[in-house]
Amino acid sequence: MAVTMKKKAPTQKFQNLKTKWLDFLMFTNPSERNNALLFEYYADEFAHRPRRFYNFIHLLYSYLKTSRTESTKKIVASRYIDVLSPLCQKFGFYEEKKILDSFAFKIIKPEKYKIINKNLISYKRKSKKLIEKINHKFEKLLKSHKFKVEISGRYKTTYSIYKKLKLKQRDEIQSLGDIFAFRIIVQKNSEEDCFKVLNLLHNTFNPLPERFKDYISIPKINGYQSLHTGLNEVASQLDLPVEVQIRTKAMEEFAEKGAAAHWLYSKAKLSRILTEKEKKLIQHFYASERSSKIYFFSYNGDLYKLEQGSSVLDFAYRIHTNFGNKLKAIFVNERPQEINYKIKEGDKIKIILSKKQEATREWLQYTQNKNTRKNILYATRNHK
């Protein structure tokens, strides 16, 4: 049965916040620099409130499903892929990420999605018996060595296949060796048993050293732990390597939900009590203080950040010294403002310059920024 994302009933306050977050998503001009800054903005916005991000991505999914404006849907879907999908990974909302990734990909590149999805369905049908045969071989081998395990597996999503094909510059999904990965879950929560299972598989089959990754000894930054390996000569009729992941039951649950997700599910009494490792990771979300920066836009959609309390004069000098020195007028959200206007989050600012304009020492009262003051003092050094 397909997994669906449940809708939440948002409050009016959350609706207002959602509007602000969507505005940031849609107004920001897509570029590598802006994407990095937008990611930073959302990470700061949600770091102490993972539930808000959880609710926001559910509302985003609902928006993409119900919006009738195709051009807007494509913009939102594209911005989600560039910025919010990596943030889902950071927060550990893996299931939500998987659903939204594929849905957004379908909107952005419908023809690519259709081709890959069709090939994936065909691959699943053709490989079903072979996967069952390999699964049985693993079960028999591990049982004969007294290991209590659960063996399952998962196909890559359409979007992850698309990314892999693009990275490897290939066209056929059959050319990828890890469309399906076996997952061996060691029932005894023992890291040592994970390595014993790994050694058994490596001794029985032909391991590929370049496919081996030890995320147990050195976990990923988000806390993910597992052993990954690739094996050849597992089945006679298979000329591609078999991908295998080995982890404990606790590691599997963490991998499926992630730190922030565990926090939410445990609060809702839908999950087990958090482990010490998960508590430490969640504390990491709260450890850093909320940023003192204010995020706002230039009129053409470039994203900027300055210290709280910064004026539009600071912004002009932030762009370039000549922008500050020649600042004639300011428009904020299409309305004229004085140069002492204090920037608010999400403001859209347009700077008007004049060749005749010169900086004056009066401007010093409109800023506390050291660089701005330094530039004004230099520009007015010959003023009496």
State which fold the 293-379 domain adopts: Ubiquitin-like (UB roll) (3.10.20)
CATH 3.30.460.10 corresponds to the domain 123-257: yes
Within the chain, all domains assigned CATH 3.30.460.10 are found at: 123-257
Within the chain, all domains assigned CATH 3.10.20.30 are found at: 293-379
Per-residue pLDDT of the chain (384 residues; tens, 9 = 90+): 334 555 555 566 667 777 889 899 999 999 999 999 999 999 888 887 888 888 899 889 998 999 888 888 999 999 999 999 999 888 878 888 989 999 999 999 999 999 999 988 988 888 888 888 889 999 999 999 999 999 988 888 899 889 888 877 777 776 666 778 899 999 888 899 999 999 999 999 999 999 999 999 998 876 788 999 999 888 776 667 889 999 998 888 877 766 555 555 555 444 444 455 555 555 555 555 556 889 999 999 999 999 999 999 999 999 999 999 999 999 999 999 999 999 999 999 999 999 999 999 999 999 989 999 999 999 898 776
pTM of the model: 0.78
Residue type for position 9: A
